[in-house]
Amino acid sequence: MKHTVRAFAATATLASISWIGLILVVRGDQPLSTQTVTFPVPSGTASGYLVTPEKPGRYPGLVVIHEWWGLTDWVKEQAQKLGDLGYVALAVDLYRGKVTSDPEEAHELMRGLPQDRAISELKAAFAYLATRNDVDHNHIGSIGWCMGGGLSLQLAIHEPRLAACVVNYGALPTDPNDIQQIFAPVLGNFGAEDRGITPEDVHEFEKTMQAMKRRIDVKIYDGAGHAFENSTNTNGYRPEAAADAWARTVTFLNKTMK
């Protein structure tokens, strides 16, 4: 990696750029820029890890939503992989700098995050992406894992302009009035052995979505539990299921966002 010396032009009057680590990352067949950005939210400002393709152009955007551990290196890697595919990916830091590997602390951090604040900050992240000159504002979607998977669906409920929604083993809404507000196509990846989001929960959500003529594609992986896609999940990581879920995600996003 090397530091870029190119000046970064401001692309939105409502957003300010933090120059912490504007870096050129070479991945795949195109270089990527990564940086920390700040953007306005109702309570002040929020921040996120932004990945952009270096090649000039307008790209679909993605709001990337972390697990209950916080904005970890693994989540940043997923944002970089999405940048590799030609997306402007913004991984929002909902915990405002706090990251943990301790389940008890993660539980407390998640409990301390009011859902209304999380949703408002994700909507603000969507709005920030929509202001950028390198983003196609008609094609902005969301993707999340665990806590972030549930919030990806909540963003779909509260942001009618969302173009696509990916939920990986996240909490599923049950109120038909909420589900009726989901207009974006939804892709879901779940584990058959997940005791938090069970196959019964998934099937019920899928059934309700289909009854409402909403677009949904879910897959439940045998032998996989919660967080099976995260390679840092020592006991629960399932490489084959994770690779298949990623391939499904890439296909889905290419179909709905490009």
Closest CA to 88 of 41, 37, 46, 40: 37
pLDDT at 28: 54
Bridge partners of 23, per DSSP, are 3, 34
- Output the furthest CA–CA distance in the chain (Å, rounded): 53
Q: pLDDT averaged over consecutive 10-residue blocks of the chain (258 residues)?
A: 28 33 52 97 96 97 98 98 98 98 98 98 98 98 98 98 98 98 98 98 98 98 98 97 98 97
Confirm or reject CATH 3.40.50.1820 for domain 2-257, answering yes or no.
Answer: yes
pLDDT at 29: 61
Dihedral sign for Cα 146, 148, 151, 152, please: negative
pLDDT at 257: 97
What is d(CA 62, CA 128) in angstroms, rounded to the nearest whole number?
11
